[in-house]
Structure formats: structure tokens, C-alpha cells
Amino acid sequence: MAMNYSEAVMDHFTNPRNVGEIENASGCGTVGNAVCGDIMRVYLDIDDDGIIQDAKFKTFGCGAAIATSSMATVLVKGKTVQQALEVTNKAVMEALDGLPPVKVHCSLLAEEAIHAALWDYAEKNGIMIEGLEKPVSDISEHDHGHDIDDEDED
Amino acid sequence: MAMNYSEAVMDHFTNPRNVGEIENASGCGTVGNAVCGDIMRVYLDIDDDGIIQDAKFKTFGCGAAIATSSMATVLVKGKTVQQALEVTNKAVMEALDGLPPVKVHCSLLAEEAIHAALWDYAEKNGIMIEGLEKPVSDISEHDHGHDIDDEDED
Amino acid sequence: MKQIYLDNASTTRMRPEVLDAMLPYFTEQYGNPSSIYPLGQEASDAVAEARSSLAGCIGAQPREVFFTSGGSESDNWAIKGFARANVAKGRHIITSAVEHHAVLHTCAALEKEGFEVTYLPVDGDGLVSVEDFKAAIRSDTILASIMFANNEIGTIQSIAELASAAHEAGVVFHTDAVQAFGHEYINVEEMGIDMLSASAHKLYGPKGMGLLYVRKGVKLLNLIDGGQQERGRRATTENVSGIVGFAKAAQLAEAEREAVHGSQLALRDHAIERILREIPHAKLNGSWESRLANNVNFSFEFIEGEGMLLQLAARGICVSSGSACTSGSLDPSHVLLAIGLPHEIAHGSLRMTLGRDTTLEDVDFAIDSLKATLANLRSMSPLYEDFQKTGEGSIIAEMKAQGVPYVS
Amino acid sequence: MKQIYLDNASTTRMRPEVLDAMLPYFTEQYGNPSSIYPLGQEASDAVAEARSSLAGCIGAQPREVFFTSGGSESDNWAIKGFARANVAKGRHIITSAVEHHAVLHTCAALEKEGFEVTYLPVDGDGLVSVEDFKAAIRSDTILASIMFANNEIGTIQSIAELASAAHEAGVVFHTDAVQAFGHEYINVEEMGIDMLSASAHKLYGPKGMGLLYVRKGVKLLNLIDGGQQERGRRATTENVSGIVGFAKAAQLAEAEREAVHGSQLALRDHAIERILREIPHAKLNGSWESRLANNVNFSFEFIEGEGMLLQLAARGICVSSGSACTSGSLDPSHVLLAIGLPHEIAHGSLRMTLGRDTTLEDVDFAIDSLKATLANLRSMSPLYEDFQKTGEGSIIAEMKAQGVPYVS
Ligand SMILES: Cc1ncc(COP(=O)(O)O)c(C=O)c1O
Ligand SMILES: Cc1ncc(COP(=O)(O)O)c(C=O)c1O
């Protein structure tokens, strides 16, 4: 399966931004599982105004998984919690100049990881974030689009 | 179908010996048919001692057919009628250093043509040639071995 | 001895430009296109580029083009793959009596699996009638396979009309375009072609390389199962150099197509006219009007084809024949029999197929040699002897008397 | 950047000697072997010579060797062709869980046609047990197909014993020897192999070229019907240059086999030992004893394969992985799962396959790079973070505790 990653993906894969942990993070979320092969963990440091001051990640996964984690943390930094919810997988993909079709699921995972960290933050603080649903921690139940022929099924 | 004719075959094909007709021949025989693709006609000039003084042929057929006709006439010249009967297709093939498997039938045709001419001679002279049976004029009923896989049939 | 190669329907001399395009992919860019590292990705890019370039030649989408090992595999895959995938819809297939063996023997194999095949007859020119074609369509017909142009006699079929008749009845239309691809204008959209077979070595590309165009939505079973190459449709590590060479050959052919077509047409007609004028007892086989620009096919009476080929070969002329003896089978060419030639003259047929660098001198030398060869072979033919003695037994003379065109 | 190519099980760099042998057959000796004139006959002779040379490499008769477009076609033809030709004798086929997809997907296609297939499990080293094999044979078993050597983990099967068990029960024995041909000693007579698949590009020959050995008397239906090439068994204008190149590559491989085998074995063991010594949480996959001389395959815990490959590629190292992500499928390698690896560590596997000119420096540089890469990827792995914090969750540590060999 040819990869043909964009330059942006290769850049974020080889020099990932925001790798690491945040001690006593405001929120931390882990999604995916090692059976299906991708696990992402996102740490968020959110200040009292609800602004994301720092974001870090650790990812077990392919090049695209690492690059989307990196890009997702870049995109949410400095944003409000509400704005962070708008960092969808589409937004991550666009910021990376696209992903190969078989890798689209990685961007979904990044979105889920951000949501999981925000959910953790909301729980810890006993608040409700409008538009945020409890993320599934094992996203392997989602359709990864992995082995679907990109267009036709004939 | 690769041919790989021996040099002797190519020589007898490109410079066939004894092409032509004999007027008032002692015996003349034609075998084969144009539907299957090979026709040979042999003329023999046989003297009173039963010795073949001259032999000529005309052939419609492939390179091997022409070469075997040529060789067959060479082989019977100077022989007695009885000796000529021993000019079998094997003898013709050996004299030509072999034939490709799919061409073996051509040598059979040459043998038949000689026999046909001898039969004609015998009939004209009201004699019986020991060991000579009436040749079939249309040898296409014979098994030409043409489309048989040379060795196995699996 | 100088060789005059006039057997371009059999195979062609690969162009140096094609070899140049292929060379890097043997010992330098040797990566497997499925690999993730640059050496693999570059090979993968080269394959993708070749695919879209080839698709462009016939107005197809790149993802509708699948690489194969040649025209035979393409034909087998299209016909067996489609029939087996669509057996629930019906078991009837239509083809013609003049198809290449890669189609005919494939159909015969399917007959053993329980499919029914109609082999449409052709007229004296080798043309399938559109009326016959329509009449042959049944409610259980699933597939029709009619060749674009015939490899022996060069006759070009009315592909667009046949395809449209097929579509009216919901029948999928395949064409074996091995002889036409790169030589004739082809557009799968305009012509309504659903599947198309082509082979690189017929257009100055490498041997062992072909393609099958499959319109999006047409379902086929795989012929070669295995890895995920060709989007899971045809497994095997890609023949990268072959693919690149095929695309290069097709690009060159496309760029030069009209010019080459024009000059070959002139040479072809010169050859046909000279033979009709100068060689007695000859008959042009195939349509003169609807014919490949490089194909000259004649039957000559009183002689057999192999002898003619060997004598021409001895003069350096490379041509082929529909004779029995050259194919290892007892019967003469099924194509010549299908256009109604009696066995007797089908045996004495000759095919000269011009190439892109064939010259007038080549053609004239070949025809001069042919005249000498025929005179020689006729002088040793018992049939010619009989004809000369009796003035009877000439099939071609009878044809002429009956008004059959293009006989001498 | 200098590329260190350690993916020779995927494909190989064609040898210059092979290219030299092939070159004349593109633009000079371009004749069709079926043609009667010298240009064709010379091509025909070259094909015949290549066939007998290749037959000689495995102790076969030339007429038992048929050319194909690669290992995948050979596997498909052997298995589908035999099954379909012998369905009257039975519908049961035996193969193993670690075969290449060219065998597994072919068997799956036959299951849809009504055949039954037993996929034998393998042990932790990837070996098929001869006892299991015997036990799987039924009265309606017609064919067994067990690969000579595995393409991922390099495990070499007990081919002679398996073949002899098959023969005792009247079962025909095919082996996919794509990874072994030209690398390991093979003799079809001594080993009792009835059919054997090989592919040229795995031994420094051209891509798109393979062979199928078929013992005299073994009946197959054709996969590709058409012309009379390959004695009517496999139609298509012969890929003359490919055939000649294949034979040349095999001759060279045969001549150098023992020397290359010895030096690769030393390098391989050096690599395995260094990794076991220097890289924690690693497991050697496949048998160490019964293993191809060029194969190194490891699983590394806490990381995923594709990231490792990409980082190694960035350092000029070309290797491959059994990871899901590189194959376009969600599951990790079926081979690694079959030897009992949990998904979690199957994802983090690496295959390094040495070539004939791989040096000790290459191997050491690759392993140094691998160490750095793994350290980097583990530093960003949430699983490694958890393991470091808790000391728990290491599958490889558990294996070690249970006495599984060759883990670190
Ligand atoms: C064991 C095995 N069988 C079959 C194949 C298929 O060979 P090819 O790519 O030549 O079709 C390969 C390699 O890809 C292989 O390693
Ligand atoms: C019309 C036609 N179809 C199919 C083929 C088979 O092509 P290939 O030899 O590439 O398999 C040929 C040529 O041999 C052909 O002329």
C-alpha cells in the first residue's frame, strides 16, 4: 500500500510538536487500543478562563497517527475549550494537506483524543461542555475505513 | 510452432533435387490432398531390369514435405524396385538428420508417394511387387501426428 | 543478411526510447512499489504515472486500467472473470468466429464450465454484421466480446455500433484491441467499450506486458489472486520496467499515430495493388476499406504457405502465414476459413504487416522476392502442373468469374 | 543519501549481468519465438536454452518447466488449475496458515467454488507439523500446498517429509518456493515436489517473470488459454528478455549459492545476536535453526511498525514490517498472528532481509539506527509510559518469564 504522505505529514511525523506529558494536567484522555494498532493520549493544561495553555501527546501508531496527534495539539493550543471542539478531524486533515484514504481514521482518533481530554477536564471540574459527548475510549468499534477500497466496491 | 529444421532439410528444401516430370514414366503416383495441405507426385523411370534409372517429383506442401520428396527421390534412384521398397519414412528421416515431431507425417507421405508410383508401375506391367500394398491415394485418413503433443498428453 | 521485418502484427522491435525509459527500473529504481521507503514510493509513482498516461490514450480513468502480462491474460481475465462473476445473471456469451485464440479458447473453456457461446460468422471481408449481432442477443446474454481489429486479415469491426447494440440489451461489451491499441483512434467513452485488452509488444513496447481496461462498475472475479496490487484485482509484484515501457510506447504511438497511419496506408495500398497487378492467382483477404493500415494478407493458389515463408526468410524477409504447418495444427487459419476460403487456398496465405519504419524499398523488395518465390514453388507444384495442363482446378479463377473482388 | 537496502525478500536489485543478458532481446533479437524466420527461431532457441537451464537448477526436465508472469500467477495456476482439473477425484486441499496471500487468497477463491481447504496451524517457530499434516489428509484430499520458506519470518518447512507424507496418501504436493529458489538447495526429484512456484525478481532477476514446475503426468487446467505457447499450457507471446534474464539470474545464483549462503548466515546471526543483546523488549520471530540465511524478523514492544519504517527510511534504511498500516488492512500480518503473537506486538515488527552484497557495515548501521529509532518512538509511546510507570503490561516480559526463547 503506497503511502504518499504530504510534506506536512512527514514534517509532523519526523519532528512531532508537543510530545510529552503534563503533570497534574487539567484533562487527560487516551483513545484507541493496541489490538487495532493506534493509541493516542492527550494532556491539556486549561486555565481558569477556559483557555488551553498547553497540550501534549503520546501516541502509539503509524506515521499518520503521530502526525495527526502533533497537529491536533498544535491546533488546540491557545484556543478556548469551545473553539477546541471545532478542531475536527477534517480541520486536522486540512492542516496536514490531506491524508491517504486508508489513513483518514487516524485523524478521527486525534479528534477523539482531544474530546477525551476535554471530557476528563469537564468531569474533574464538574462542568458540562456544550456539544461534547462522552468519547468511547476504545475507538476500534468505529469504522476505521481501513480496508475499504477508497471509492468503488465493485 | 518452432521449426528447427536440420541443415540437411533446409538444403533439400532450398535446393530440391529431382524436381520435375518424366514423360511416359514407368510409374507415377500422387498422394495426399490439398485440403490437408500436402500433395506429392512421384515419377519413376524403371528399366527392364527393374532398376530405377530416374525419379522426379512435384510437391505441394511445407518445407519438410519438399525436402522429404527430394530426399526420397535421391534415395530410390539406382535402386531396384525391391530395394526401393526399403526406403521407408524412417530412412528418409535419417538421411535428413531428423524432422521436428510435427513434421514426421511428411516423411510418411514421401514413402507413400514412392509406393504409389511403384504400384502404378506394377499395374501397368501386370506384375506383383512382393510386399507392396495398394497405397491409399488420400493419406489424410492416416494419422499425421500433427496436433499431438509430442510426448505427453496430460 | 539485411532483414526486412514485415511481421509487425506478430511482434514489434522495441523502440530505443522505450528501452531508455525502462532502463532505470532494472538496476537502479528497483524498489517494490508496495514499499514505504523512497525506493518503493518512486516505483509506485512511476506506476501511477504510467497508468494515467495509458488511461488517457483511450479516454479512460486511471483507476479503470489494470496491468497484466499481455493480451492473452487480459482476454482471459475479462471473459472468464466477467462470466464467473455474473453467472447468476445468465450463461450466454457472444463472440465472433474470427477472434484470436486467446478469446476463442477462453470461450471454449467457459463452455466446459456450463456457459453457452455463440460464435458469430463473418462475411467475406471478415466483418461481423450488426444485425446478426443483435439477433444473437438472448435474455440470458451477459457478455459480448468482439475484437477491434483482426490480427490476420486486419479487418476493423464496427465497434461503436456493436457496443451500442449490446448496451441496448444490457449486455457488457469487451473488445480485444491488441492489434488496434496505439494504431487506431480508440475512445472507450465515445465507443461504449466496457472492457478492452491491449498488449505492449504490438506497439514497439516490451513483451510480457498488457492491460485490461474495466469500466467502473463492471464486476470481474480475479484471475490472479494474492497481494493487494492493482487495488486487489490482480496480484503480483508490479513489473515496473514493463509498465513504464508500455506507457512510453503508447505515448509515442499516440503522438505519431496519425502520421504513421497515413504513411502506412499508402505503403499498404501500394503493396496490395502491386500484388494484384503482378501476381496471378492471388486474392486479397479481409476488407480493403475497413482495414488496419499496416496489414496486407493474400492467398496464393497452388502453393503452400510454409514453403513460401522459408524461401522468403532465406532472402531476409520476415513474414507470416495462415498455413497449417506453421501453427502446429492440421487446420489452416480459422480466420481464413471463417471468411469462406476453401482449405486449398487458405494453406497458401501470406501476411505482411508493415512497421513504423518500413520503407517503399522494403515493400518493393519483398514483393519482388515474393514473385520469384511463388514462381519457384509453383514450378514444383503438382497442382500447378495439373492446372497448366488442363486449364482447370483453379479456385481463384472461379472466384474471379463469380465477381469476387480483389482477385487476380 | 546512501540507501541501505535490506528488503531483499520483497524484491531485489537486478544484477548488471542479468541486464546484459536481457538487453539484446529488446531492440535487436526482438522476434516472436513462434515465427519461422531466423529472428523468431533465435528467440525460440533462447527460450529453450533458458528453460533447460532453469530446469537444471531444480533437477527437473525442461518440458516440466512453464514460464509465467511471476510467483503469484504460478501459485494461482498450480492450485486453481490442479483443483479444477481433478475435482472428480476430490474437493479437499491442505495448506498452511502462513502461506503467502497468492496461495491463501487462491484457496479462498476455490472455497467459493465448492472446494474445502484445511489451513494447518504452525508452531511458535512457524513450522507445520508433519503429524498434523498427515492427520489432515482425507480420502478426498487431492492437493497439498506448503511453502518452501516463509517470506516474512524465513522459516523453512520440512518439504521432503511433507511431500512424502502426501505421496503416501496419493496427494499431489505443490510448494511455493518463491523465497527459496536460487537461495536454498532444491531438487524436485529428491524432495518429491510435484509442482513448484518461483519468481525471478527474488533472485536478482526481472520483475514480472516466474515459472511453474509441473511434474510430468500432473494434470492442470490452463489459467491463461489462447495460443500454442508453452506447449498449449500457457498462452501469450513469450517474454523473451524476461525468460533469458530469469535463467541468467538463476545460473548466477546457483553458481554462488553456497558462498552467498554462508556469508549471509554469518551476517544474519550477527544481526540477531546484536538485537537480542542491545535492544530491550524484542522478540525474534520464526525459527532460528530452520531459517532462510537472509532473514531477520523481530517484534519490538510499545511501538508500531510503520513509524519505525518511516524513521528508518529517513536514515536511508529500506526495510519492511508486518504492521497493519503498511498493507492497507486493519489486521497485522497473518503470519505473525499464526505463530501466536498477540496483536499488540505483531504491530511492532520489523523484517530485514539481507542481499548478496550486504556488508557488515550496512547491518551495523541499520541496527544502530534501529536502536535510535526505537528509543525515539518509545519516548512518545503511551504504552511505554504506562510500562515505565507501573512496570506492568509488557507482553514480551511475560514471554521471557515463561521461557519463550530469543526474547530480550
Ligand atoms: C512466498 C511468496 N509467494 C509468492 C509471492 C508472489 O510473487 P510475485 O510477486 O512474483 O507474484 C511472493 C512475493 O511477493 C512470496 O514471497
Ligand atoms: C488480436 C490479438 N489478441 C490477443 C493477442 C495475444 O497477445 P499476447 O501475445 O500479448 O498475449 C494477440 C497477439 O498475439 C492478438 O493479435
Chain segment C238-263, per-residue pLDDT in tens: 999 999 999 999 999 999 999 999 99
Mean pLDDT of all residues in D186-210: 98
Q: Domain D258-401, what architecture? A: Alpha-Beta Complex (3.90)
A41 within a domain of the structure (yes/no): yes
- Cross-chain Cβ contact A41/D302 below 8 Å: no
Q: b or e along A35-47 (b: 16 or more beta carbons within 10 Å of the residue's beta carbon)?
A: bbbbbbbbbbbbe
Residue C123 exposed, middle or buried by CB count within 10 Å (0-12, 13-18, 19+): middle
The alpha carbon of C337 and the centre of ligand 2 are apart by a number of angstroms equal to 20
The alpha carbon of D100 and the centre of ligand 1 are apart by a number of angstroms equal to 7
Q: Which of C245-249, D71-75, D396-400 has the lowest mean pLDDT?
A: D396-400
Report the DSSP beta bridge partners of residue B42: B29, B57
Grid coordinates standing for C103?
A: 478469446
Confidence tier at A37 by pLDDT (50, 70, 90)? confident
From chain D, pick out residues whose CB is under 8 angstroms from the CB of C102: 224-227, 235-236
- Cross-chain Cβ contact B151/D63 below 8 Å: yes
**Average pLDDT of chain D to the nearest whole number:** 96
- Cross-chain Cβ contact C40/D318 below 8 Å: yes
- What is the rounded radius of gyration, in angstroms, for the C-alpha atoms of chain C? 22
How many residues can be counted in chain D?
Answer: 408
Residues 6+ positions from B57 with CB-CB distance below 8 Å: B16, B18, B19, B20, B40, B41, B42, B43, B69, B70, B72, B73, B113, C380
Taking the C-alpha atoms of residue A86 and residue A96, their distance in angstroms, rounded to an integer, is: 16
Contact criterion met (CB below 8 Å) for C335 and B9: no
From residue D202, how far is each of C229, D15, D253 by CA, in Å?
A: 17, 11, 11
Taking the C-alpha atoms of residue A88 and residue A76, their distance in angstroms, rounded to an integer, is: 10
Q: Identify the closest residue of chain D to A43 by CA–CA distance.
A: D382
What fold characterizes domain C16-253?
Answer: Aspartate Aminotransferase; domain 2 (3.40.640)
What pLDDT, in 10s, does the model give residues B81-133?
999 999 999 999 999 999 988 888 888 899 999 999 999 999 999 999 998 98
Could you confirm whether B28 is annotated as catalytic?
no
From chain D, pick out residues whose CB is under 8 angstroms from the CB of B151: 63
Q: What is the pLDDT of residue C281?
A: 97
From residue D14, how far is each of C23, C136, C315, D152 by CA, in Å?
A: 11, 51, 39, 21
Mean pLDDT of all residues in A83-93: 94
pLDDT at C326 over 80: no
Contact criterion met (CB below 8 Å) for C322 and C336: yes
Strands C172-176 and C141-145: parallel
Q: What is the pLDDT of residue C329?
A: 54
Q: What is the pLDDT of residue B152?
A: 44
Report the DSSP beta bridge partners of residue D68: D210
> Can chain C be said to touch chain D, i.e. do they have 3 or more Cβ pairs within 8 angstroms?
yes
Determine the atom of ligand 1 nearest the C-alpha atom of D210.
Answer: 10
Q: Domain with B95 in it: what CATH number?
A: 3.90.1010.10
Contact criterion met (CB below 8 Å) for B149 and D219: no
Q: What percent of chain B has pLDDT over 70?
A: 84
pLDDT at C10 over 70: yes
Contact criterion met (CB below 8 Å) for D94 and D173: no
Q: What angle is formed at CA B60 by the lines to CA B55 and CA B63, rounded to 5 degrees?
A: 90
Grid coordinates standing for D69?
A: 508472469
CB atoms within 10 A of CB C384: 22
User: A105 vs chain D: nearest CA distance in angstroms?
Assistant: 11
Residue C44 exposed, middle or buried by CB count within 10 Å (0-12, 13-18, 19+): buried
Grid coordinates standing for C329?
A: 495444427
B60 near C CB under 8 A = yes
Contact criterion met (CB below 8 Å) for D356 and D255: no
Q: What is the pLDDT of residue B151?
A: 43
Contact criterion met (CB below 8 Å) for D102 and C227: yes
What pLDDT, in 10s, does the model give residues C150-191?
999 999 999 999 999 999 999 999 999 999 999 999 999 999
- Cross-chain Cβ contact D385/A34 below 8 Å: no
Report the DSSP beta bridge partners of residue A55: A44
pLDDT at C92 over 80: yes
3-state secondary structure of C261: helix
The alpha carbon of D388 and the centre of ligand 1 are apart by a number of angstroms equal to 41
The 3-class SS string of C45-106 reads: HHHHHHHHHHHHHCCCCHHHEEEECCHHHHHHHHHHHHHHHCCCCCCEEEEECCCCHHHHHH
Alpha-carbon torsion, ordered D339, D345, D348, D354, to 10 deg: -30
Q: What is the pLDDT of residue A106?
A: 84
Taking the C-alpha atoms of residue D183 and residue D8, their distance in angstroms, rounded to an integer, is: 12
Taking the C-alpha atoms of residue C92 and residue C332, their distance in angstroms, rounded to an integer, is: 28
- C-alpha dihedral sign at C54, C59, C62, C64: negative
Mean pLDDT of all residues in D97-110: 98
From residue B3, how far is each of C139, C195, D175 by CA, in Å?
A: 47, 36, 34
Count residue pairs from A and C with Cβ separation < 8 A. Answer: 23
Domain ranges of chain D: 16-253, 258-401
> Can chain B be said to touch chain C, i.e. do they have 3 or more Cβ pairs within 8 angstroms?
yes
For a ligand 1 pocket test, name from C224, C237, C240 the mutation site with the most ligand atoms within 8 angstroms of its C-beta.
Answer: C237
Among D36, D228, B2, D30, smallest CA distance to C11 is for D30
- Cross-chain Cβ contact D217/B151 below 8 Å: no
Is D136 annotated in some ligand binding site?
Answer: no
Q: What is the pLDDT of residue C1?
A: 87
Q: Identify the closest residue of chain D to B1 by CA–CA distance.
A: D34
Could you confirm whether D318 is annotated as catalytic?
no
B148 within a domain of the structure (yes/no): no
Compare CB distances from B62 to C325, C343, C382 and report the shortest one's residue.
Answer: C325
Q: What is the pLDDT of residue B104?
A: 87
Give me the number of domains chain A comprises: 1
Determine the atom of ligand 2 nearest the C-alpha atom of D237.
Answer: 9
What pLDDT, in 10s, does the model give residues A69-86?
999 999 999 999 999 999
Mean pLDDT of all residues in D80-100: 98
From chain C, pick out residues whose CB is under 8 angstroms from the CB of B70: none
- Cross-chain Cβ contact C40/A2 below 8 Å: yes
- Cross-chain Cβ contact C216/A1 below 8 Å: no
What pLDDT, in 10s, does the model give residues B37-91?
789 999 999 999 999 999 999 999 989 999 999 999 999 999 999 999 999 999 9
- Which DSSP letter does residue B52 get? E
Complex prediction ipTM: 0.92
Spell out which residues line ligand 2, taking CB within 6 angstroms.
Answer: C 70-72, 75, 100, 102, 147, 151, 176, 178-179, 199, 201, 210; D 236-237
Taking the C-alpha atoms of residue A93 and residue A103, their distance in angstroms, rounded to an integer, is: 10
Strands A27-33 and D92-96: unpaired
Q: What is the pLDDT of residue B2?
A: 42
D63 near B CB under 8 A = yes
- Domain assignment of residue A86, given as a range: 7-141
Grid coordinates standing for B29?
A: 503416383
Is D96 annotated in some ligand binding site?
Answer: no
The alpha carbon of D178 and the centre of ligand 1 are apart by a number of angstroms equal to 6
Q: What is the pLDDT of residue B137?
A: 61
From chain C, pick out residues whose CB is under 8 angstroms from the CB of B57: 380
How many residues can be counted in chain B?
Answer: 154
B151 near D CB under 8 A = yes
CB atoms within 10 A of CB C236: 28
Strands D317-318 and D349-353: unpaired
The alpha carbon of D21 and the centre of ligand 2 are apart by a number of angstroms equal to 26
Is D394 annotated in some ligand binding site?
Answer: no
Report the DSSP beta bridge partners of residue A31: A40
Compare CB distances from D330 to A19, A61, A146 and report the shortest one's residue.
Answer: A146
A34 within a domain of the structure (yes/no): yes
The alpha carbon of D47 and the centre of ligand 2 are apart by a number of angstroms equal to 19
Q: What is the pLDDT of residue A147?
A: 38
Confidence tier at D329 by pLDDT (50, 70, 90)? low
Contact criterion met (CB below 8 Å) for D82 and D113: no
- Give the helix/strand (H/E) hosting C212: strand C210-214
Among A10, A58, B103, C48, smallest CA distance to D306 is for A10
Residues 6+ positions from A129 with CB-CB distance below 8 Å: A81, A82, A85, A118, A119, A122
Contact criterion met (CB below 8 Å) for D354 and D264: yes
Mean pLDDT of all residues in A9-22: 95
From chain D, pick out residues whose CB is under 8 angstroms from the CB of C225: 72, 76, 101-102, 105-106, 108-109
Confidence tier at C343 by pLDDT (50, 70, 90)? confident
From residue B110, how far is each of A11, B143, C330 by CA, in Å?
A: 81, 15, 18
Neighbouring chains of A at 3+ CB pairs under 8 Å are C, D
What pLDDT, in 10s, does the model give residues A93-143?
999 999 988 888 888 999 999 999 999 999 999 999 999 988 776 544 444
What pLDDT, in 10s, does the model give residues D241-295?
999 999 999 999 999 999 999 999 999 999 999 999 999 999 999 999 999 999 9
pLDDT at D327 over 60: no
Q: What angle is formed at CA D158 by the lines to CA D154 and CA D159, rounded to 5 degrees?
A: 100
Q: What percent of chain C has pLDDT over 70?
A: 98
Q: What is the pLDDT of residue B3?
A: 63
Mean pLDDT of all residues in D315-324: 84
User: B37 vs chain C: nearest CA distance in angstroms?
Assistant: 6
Taking the C-alpha atoms of residue C200 and residue D157, their distance in angstroms, rounded to an integer, is: 39
Q: What is the pLDDT of residue A152?
A: 44
Helix, strand, coil fractions of chain B, as percent rounded to 5: 40, 20, 40
pLDDT at C9 over 80: yes
The 3-class SS string of C355-407 reads: CCCCCHHHHHHHHHHHHHHHHHHHHCCHHHHHHHHHCCCCHHHHHHHCCCCCE
For a ligand 2 pocket test, name from C72, C145, C159, C292 the mutation site with the most ligand atoms within 8 angstroms of its C-beta.
Answer: C72
